[in-house]
Amino acid sequence: MCARRCLGPAPARKVPARAAPKMDRWKPVVERWLEEDRAMPRKQRHTAHRAWQRLVEELGADVGETTVRRYVAVVRARQQLP
């Protein structure tokens, strides 16, 4: 028997979407890279990890890899890229 009331699983929490102000400055750069990639062979396109590396190494961006990954996924969905 349960120590607490057994009412089943807890309902999923709804987490509000947050803005990514750190990414705002770099969005045009990432979009440009991904747009240019459309003309490249698949193996030569930017991965989300590589886009993050370039932002940090070449442009000195202070943005997390996960933030860049999420944004790349949004752009690819918009462009209908795999």
Q: How far apart are CA 28 and CA 25, in angstroms?
A: 7
Report which of residues 65 and 7 the model is more confident about.
65
How far is CA 24 from its chain centroid?
A: 12
| Res 47: pLDDT | 95
pLDDT in tens, 5-19: 667 777 888 877 777
Burial class (CB in 10 A: 0-12, 13-18, 19+), 80: exposed
pLDDT in tens, 33-53: 999 999 999 999 999 999 999
**Measured distance between the N- and C-terminal CA atoms of the chain, rounded to whole angstroms:** 49
Q: How far apart are CA 40 and CA 17, in angstroms?
A: 33
